[in-house]
Structure formats: structure tokens, C-alpha cells
Chains A and B, each alone.
Chain A
Amino acid sequence: KAGVTQTPRYLIKTRGQQVTLSCSPISGHRSVSWYQQTPGQGLQFLFEYFSETQRNKGNFPGRFSGRQFSNSRSEMNVSTLELGDSALYLCASGQAGTSAYEQYFGPGTRLTVT
């Protein structure tokens, strides 16, 4: 079974631009979560989608948004990029909408904002 895939793997953007990251969960998984990882803040939760609905949202500004499609693939969008948005963005997929199941992470998208 294929793992979680994320595209692109690397991105370089300029301040003020916007970016869209994509995550394809493991087949059959309906929950997709997004995290931001930086050296200073560690892993921080962005949001979680289940069956195309955002169920949880972390403490990030409205510039960070996401969506999930009917095939469970998810996209994350960051508008008006700032230097501080440079990070590794990770998505995780889970089998169901409860916390009882193991979460599987993708390889991440490394975003650099210049």
C-alpha cells in the first residue's frame, strides 16, 4: 500500500506570494491533518480535515487555509507569504475520524520564503 505523498517536495517563494501544497493520504484514509515544523517552534498543528470538513484548527492566522476533496486528497494554501512561513510542512493521514488510529506522515514539503 502506498504511503502518504506530498507535492511538491521543495518550494522557493518570494514574500507576498501565495503557495499551494498537496497531500494524498493512504488509500482508505479519510482524515488528513497538516503540521508546520520549524526549529524554533517544533511541530505545530494547522488543521485537520475529515470527509471534506475541517474539524479542528490550530492557532494560525487566516492566511493559512485548506480543503479536502471527495477522494480525501487535501490541499493547503498560504497567502501573502512571510519570511516566518519558511518551514517543513507535514501532512498526516488517519484511517478514521477518531484518535484511536495510528497516524502516518508524509515526507513533507520544504517551503523557503525569500
Chain B
Amino acid sequence: KQEVTQIPAALSVPEGENLVLNCSFTDSAIYNLQWFRQDPGKGLTSLLLIQSSQREQTSGRLNASLDKSSGRSTLYIAASQPGDSATYLCAVPNTGNQFYFGTGTSLTVIP
């Protein structure tokens, strides 16, 4: 069974700082990996989908990398803003669209 871990569990940074969130998974036979953002009490917003054949995917200030062989992915956020404060989740699916989620990283960007 796939296990997904996210480190750190919580992170607090001053506005403008660049930061990296980490995600690791135990089974490297993945189709893709998806990063989500969740605001308190809300649903999940998809940030980036990185296919297993890709090494990186970028969207605006966000950059996700994937290293299947080592079972790791990182989400890089450049020039953080207070509006980036949220919980960030990574997830990997099995063959049947069942996602295994990490426990998330709670990010606080201090103005």
C-alpha cells in the first residue's frame, strides 16, 4: 500500500521568502503526482499535476519536481505572499483513481 509523507508538518516564513515543501512516497510505480492547496474548511484546489515521465512542472510562482526513483517530490514556492497561507497536500493515485494523500504541510506567510 502506498504511503505518502510530507515534511515539515508546519512552516512559517516571512513574506517574500522562497520555500520548499517536501513529499515522499513509498511505491515508485506511480502514474503521476498532484499537488493541492486547501484553505481552512474548504475543498482542495489543484495546483500542479506532474506526470511520471516528467521531472518538473511549473505554474506561475510554483514549481513541482518529481524524482520517481527516490520516491520524492518537491513544491517550490517563489516570493511567498500572505495569500499563499494554506495547507498543501500531495497525492499519488493508484490504477483506479484512488488517491493516497500526505498529511499536508500547513504554511503561514507572515506579512
Contact = CB atoms under 8 A, between A and B. Distances in A.
* Mutual binders A and B: yes
Interface of A: 4, 6, 31, 33, 35, 42-43, 45, 48, 50, 55-56, 58, 88, 90, 92, 94, 97-100, 102-108, 110
Given A42-B103, A102-B34, A102-B46, 12 more contacts: A33-B97, A35-B99, A48-B96, A48-B98, A97-B97, A99-B97, A100-B32, A103-B34, A103-B93, A103-B97, A103-B99, A108-B42
Given A42-B104, A100-B31, A106 B97 contact: no
Chain B's interface size range is: 20 to 34
A104 B105 CA distance: 20
Specify the main secondary structure of chain B where it touches its partner: strand
Interface of B: 31-32, 34, 36, 41-46, 49, 51, 89, 91, 93-101, 103-104
15 contacts: A43-B91, A43-B99, A45-B99, A48-B98, A50-B97, A55-B96, A56-B98, A90-B43, A90-B44, A99-B31, A100-B31, A100-B32, A102-B49, A106-B43, A107-B42
